[in-house]
Amino acid sequence: MDRDFDVIIIGSGAGGGTLAHALSTTGKKILIIERGDYLPREKANWDPGAVFIENRYHTHEKWYDKDGKGFTPGMNYYVGGNTKVYGAALLRLRKTDFEEVKHYGGTSPAWPLSYEDFQPYYLKAEELYTVHGTRGEDPTEPPESEPYYYPAVSHEPHIQKLSDSIEQMKIKTFHLPMAIRLNEQDREKSKCIRCDTCDGFPCLVHAKSDAHIACILPALQSGNVTLLTNAKAMRLIPNDSGKIIEQVEIEKDGKKIRLKASTFIVSCGAVNSAALMLRSKHDKHPNGLANQNDMVGRHYMFHNNSAMIAVSTEYNPTIFQKTMAINDYYHGADDSDLPLGHIQLLGKVKKQMLAADAPVFAPGLALDYLANHCMGWWLTSEDLPLPENRVTLNENGDISLQYTANNLEAHERLLKKLKSILKNLGGHTHFFPNKLYLSQHIPLAGCAHQAGTLRFGQDPRNSVLDLDCKAHGIDNLYVVDASFMPAVGAVNPSLTIIANALRVADILKSRI
Ligand SMILES: Cc1cc2nc3c(=O)[nH]c(=O)nc-3n(C[C@H](O)[C@H](O)[C@H](O)COP(=O)(O)OP(=O)(O)OC[C@H]3O[C@@H](n4cnc5c(N)ncnc54)[C@H](O)[C@@H]3O)c2cc1C
Ligand code: SF4
């Protein structure tokens, strides 16, 4: 393989995959380095036991918590990164998420750019990832005059009934924007078969718009892009002045190889990108690249997330369930001036998912019964970017993730709101009589929404990247994964990562 490229992109997930696609038409020679392989296409893709009990697609590597205790992170290292198994709910941050916001646990900082700076890229991102939605339903959605390119995914009857009942309580529901290739008008032509194994599963028929399908495959067809799989970037090597990255050292098939490029893009996910920067020590960067102010790895966030299962005596026949969400508590509530967060339906809950948490999820009830009579909800509240919540490397060079939870009151209140909605539903539709609520706060290993370790900003004293997502003090090093985010809001992060990668691609087109 030729070892010289115009651009080397490290990581092929939401950020790196999108950037590769956007640059693939520039005529420049681009190499993508991905530590994982293609995710195998096999029947197990849709087997809940394989996916949720055997954790077939998770990494086996160990990270360490603040007490030095090892854990296996829920990370998926494949072409397409974590988007291979994501739920494909692609929402924009709210306009206020770009501003300073007071929370129960403190203040979330303003971004150095506004929603308006991101707006055109959100629109492009929604087109690229075939997001299906309806504007005007979500009371908190940020301004956008253009409609979605694809119509919202319809509710199945059970969910429509639920939505109608919630609306009768004067609570607004909306169709969750979904990145799937579903054609409900012409099912024969639809790539998506609207199945019950989507959220958390890979898509066996390649109908989910993940970074692999939406970006990497078309980018490879351009002829300008090369993809190197099973190749882990170990460190970036600058020139003597420390201002220009000259090479990346990778490990492939047990061998170390060095590759050269004019421009380097890091996009390994917020934790691994910070680790790569920390591993890349050099005379001019003794604490790791761009770490002169000890900012690399700090301000780690991953949301306060809970999965909640509401069990009813009524059978739930829904197949594709992830179609509805509620944002009425995003900015506050009747009894709260401060934000609580976002609520969305989970995909279909399978008994194997409950079995994986059997001691938590009411062992007395038969799992089959539970799975057939329950509805899964996903609740997200913002966590704040605290400097002490950080990624470091331990003495063996392994990843250490030090995190103390914060802003939990918002999340507790949000959980209570959902429980109260479900309790009150009984009066209208006899949904959820004899309800049983089981909720589980997502632990440190559930780092799906990781963000914030290399945040962008104007001041190098408290940020790692400048507003173009270029590392402060290094001329040719950019970062486009979730690590650039200075605050994470309370909606799923991927659309913002994708929009930012498109924004950085526009900047790079005149520089590479
Ligand atoms: C089960 C699950 C459900 C989710 N559902 C949603 C959802 O519904 N909506 C949403 O918005 N988000 C969702 N997410 C989160 C979403 O997947 C992430 O926010 C997004 O993928 C992050 O993008 P990224 O570019 O930062 O990193 P990733 O997508 O994780 O990409 C990083 C890539 O870098 C590679 N890599 C890492 N280290 C190296 C190295 N040293 N050398 C070479 N390559 C490397 C990895 O293998 C990976 O391919 C979900 C995640 C999970 C796990
Ligand atoms: S619902 Fe559609 S996109 Fe999701 S896994 Fe099934 S076929 Fe794939």
Confidence class for position 314, pLDDT limits 50, 70, 90 = confident
pLDDT value for 357? 63
Q: How far is the CA of 352 from the centre of ligand 2 (A)?
A: 19
Please determine, for residue 431, whether its predicted confidence score (pLDDT) is greater than 50.
Answer: no
> Distance from the CA of 296 to the center of ligand 1, in angstroms?
19
Which atom from ligand 1 is nearest to the alpha carbon of 232?
42
3-state class of 200 per DSSP?
coil
When pLDDT is averaged across residues 301-309 and rounded to a whole number, the result is 94
| Tokens representing residue 46 in the block | 């849709």
* CA of residue 183 to ligand 2 center, whole Å: 12
The helix (H) or strand (E) run that includes residue 318 is: none
Model pTM score: 0.97
Domains and CATH numbers, the chain: 4-41+77-509 (3.50.50.60)
Q: Whose CA is nearest to atom 37 of ligand 1?
A: 268
Q: Output the CA angle 298-302-303, nearest 5 degrees.
A: 130
| pLDDT score of 444 | 94
Look at residue 440 in the predicted model and tell me its pLDDT: 81
Q: What pLDDT does residue 3 have?
A: 66
pLDDT tens sequence across 363-419: 556 888 888 988 999 999 999 999 999 999 999 999 999 999 999 999 999 999 999
Q: pLDDT band at residue 169, thresholds of 50, 70 and 90?
A: very high
Q: Residues lining ligand 1, CB < 6 A?
A: 10-16, 33-36, 74, 76-77, 81-83, 85-90, 200, 232-233, 267-270, 272, 276, 448-449, 481-482, 492-495, 497
What is the reported pLDDT for 432? Answer: 43
Atom 2 of ligand 2, nearest CA residue: 192
> Angle at which helices 157-168 and 408-429 pack, to 10 degrees?
100
Pocket mutation for ligand 2, best pick of 42, 90, 195 (most atoms within 8 Å of C-beta): 195
Q: How far is the CA of 481 from the centre of ligand 1 (A)?
A: 8
Question: What pLDDT sits at residue 424?
Answer: 85
Phi and psi angles of residue 477, each rounded to the nearest 5 degrees, phi first: -125, 120
Residue 315 has pLDDT above 50, yes or no: yes
Question: For residue 433, what pLDDT band results from cuts at 50, 70 and 90?
Answer: very low
% of the chain residues with pLDDT over 90: 88
Lowest average pLDDT, out of 154-168, 251-265, 365-379, 382-396, goes to 365-379
Testing ligand 1's pocket by substitution, the residue of 12, 51, 76, 83 carrying the most ligand atoms inside 8 A of its CB is: 83
Q: Which ligand 1 atom is the nearest neighbour of the CA of 11?
A: 34
What pLDDT is stored for residue 439 in this prediction?
75
Beta strands in 302-435 (DSSP E): 304-311, 324-326, 342-345, 374-381, 390-393, 399-402
Mutate to test the pocket of ligand 2, among 203, 204, 323, 348 (most ligand atoms within 8 A of CB): 203
| Across 119-135, average pLDDT | 98
Compute the mean pLDDT over every residue in the chain, rounded to the nearest whole number.
94
Contact 511, 6 (CB under 8 A): no
Q: Name 101's Cβ contacts closer than 8 Å, sequence gap at least 6.
A: 107, 108, 339, 382, 487
Q: Give the pLDDT confidence of 17-29 residue by residue, as tens digits.
A: 999 999 999 999 9
Tokens representing 64?
């360490």
**Residue 500 token pair:** 């930012």
At residue 359, does pLDDT exceed 70?
A: no
pLDDT for the residue 358:
55
Residue with the two structure tokens 């201002």: 243
Q: Is the pLDDT of residue 340 over 80?
A: yes
Q: Among the listed ranges 12-16, 141-145, 148-152, 423-427, which one has the minimum average pLDDT value? A: 423-427
Give percent of the chain with pLDDT exceeding 70.
95
Residue nearest to atom 6 of ligand 2 (CA): 195
pLDDT of residue 430: 39
Q: Which residue has the higher pLDDT, 356 or 247?
A: 247
Contact 453, 299 (CB under 8 A): yes
Distance 491 CA to ligand 1 centre (A): 15
Does the pLDDT of residue 1 top 60, yes or no? no
List, in sequence order, every residue forming a beta bridge with 308; answer none if it has no partner: 377, 439
29: left (phi over 0), alpha (psi -120 to 50) or beta: beta
**Which atom of ligand 1 lies nearest, measured to the CA of 451?**
26
Distance 460 CA to ligand 1 centre (A): 26
pLDDT range class, residue 362, cuts 50, 70, 90: low
Percentages of the chain per state (helix, strand, coil), in multiples of 5? 25, 20, 50
Q: Is 232 left (phi over 0), alpha (psi -120 to 50) or beta?
A: beta
From 194, 213, 319, mutation site for ligand 2 pocket: most ligand atoms within 8 A of C-beta: 194
CA of 395 to the centre of ligand 2 (A): 43
- pLDDT over 90 (residue 429): no
Q: What is the pLDDT of residue 312?
A: 83
Confidence at 360, pLDDT banded by 50, 70, 90:
low
CA of 269 to the centre of ligand 1 (A): 6
